[in-house]
Amino acid sequence: MSDRTRAHVFVTGNVQGVYFRATTRDEAQERDVDGWVRNLDDGRVEAVFEGPAETVEEMVEFCHRGSSAATVEDVDVTYEAPQDEGEFRVRW
């Protein structure tokens, strides 16, 4: 039985143009978490994290802080079955 989980996250606030995606990628790669992050047209950032439950939860907690220049107002998280995401990347 695997302890892998998947978190699908939407982050609201001043989270675009403040290195949020790059910092998220760096934090995820440091923790060996798979998935992706991207900006949405409505100003939010969307991310998917897959990996061991403990490190995925660390990434969700990171989203509540964001990059040093970000101002996070809300984080909406849905936990799902893993879908075998590859190495963490920024989507355009």
Residue 63 has pLDDT above 50, yes or no: yes
Whole-prediction pTM = 0.95
Residue 4 maps to a domain = no
What confidence score (pLDDT) does residue 2 get? 65
Structure tokens at 13: 């606030």
Residue 21 known to be catalytic: yes
Question: Which among 4, 14, 38, 39 is annotated as catalytic?
Answer: 39
Residue 45 has a CB neighbour count (10 Å cut-off) of: 24
Strand 89-90 to 34-39 pairing: parallel
Which domain does 21 fall in, by range?
13-83
Assigned domain for 89 exists: no
Assess if residue 8 is contained within a domain.
Answer: no
Question: Is-catalytic flag, 14?
Answer: no
Residue 1 lies in a domain: no
Distance CA 8, CA 11 (A): 10
Active-site residue identified among 21, 31, 89, 91 = 21
pLDDT-derived band at 86, boundaries 50, 70, 90: very high
Report the number of distinct structural domains present in the chain: 1
- CATH label of the domain that carries residue 28: 3.30.70.100
Q: Is 75 inside a domain boundary? A: yes
In-domain check, residue 56: yes
Q: pLDDT tens for residues 1-59? A: 468 999 999 999 999 999 999 999 999 999 999 999 999 999 999 999 999 999 999 99
CA dihedral of residues 41, 6, 25, 10 (deg, nearest 10):
30
